[in-house]
Amino acid sequence: MKTKSDLQAISTLLGEALSQFAKLFQNEIDLAKAEAGEKVQQIGSAAGFFAAGAVLVIPALVMALFALSAALISAGWSQPGSYLVSAIVAGAVAGVLFAVGMNRLDARNLAPRETMRQLEKDKIIVKEMVR
C-alpha cells in the first residue's frame, strides 16, 4: 500500500519530469527558430544568385547572340534561321541559370534537419522518462 510520502514523491518526480520536458520542448522551439532563420538566409542567397545572374548575363548574352547571328548570316544562313539559333542558345543558357537557382532551393536542402534529428532524440528521452 502506498503511503502519503510515496504519493508525494511520485507527484514530485512527475512534476520534475514535466518541467524537464517543458524545458526540452522550449529548447527545441528555439532550435527550430534558429534553423528557420538559416533557411531564410539560404533562400535569400539563392534569390540573390537569380538576380545577379539575370543582371549580369543579359547584356553579355545579347551581345553574344548578336555576334552569333552575324556570324551565321555571314556564313550564308538566312536571317530568321540565324536569329532562331541564337534564341535557342539563349534559352539553353537561361535554363542552366534557373537550374542552378532551383538546386539551391531544393526542399532537401531547406529541411530543418538538425531540429528533426533533435526531436527524434527527445522522443526517445521522453519515452525513457515515462518508463
pLDDT, averaged per 10 consecutive residues of the chain (131 residues), comes to 72 81 83 84 88 85 90 95 92 89 75 76 75 66
The pTM of the full predicted model, rounded to 2 decimals, is 0.42
Short-list 59, 46, 61, CA closest to 94? 61
Count of residues for the chain?
Answer: 131
Cα atoms in the 13 Å half-sphere on the side-chain side of 70: 6
- pLDDT of 96 reads 92
- pLDDT of 73 reads 95
C-alpha cell at 65: 547572340
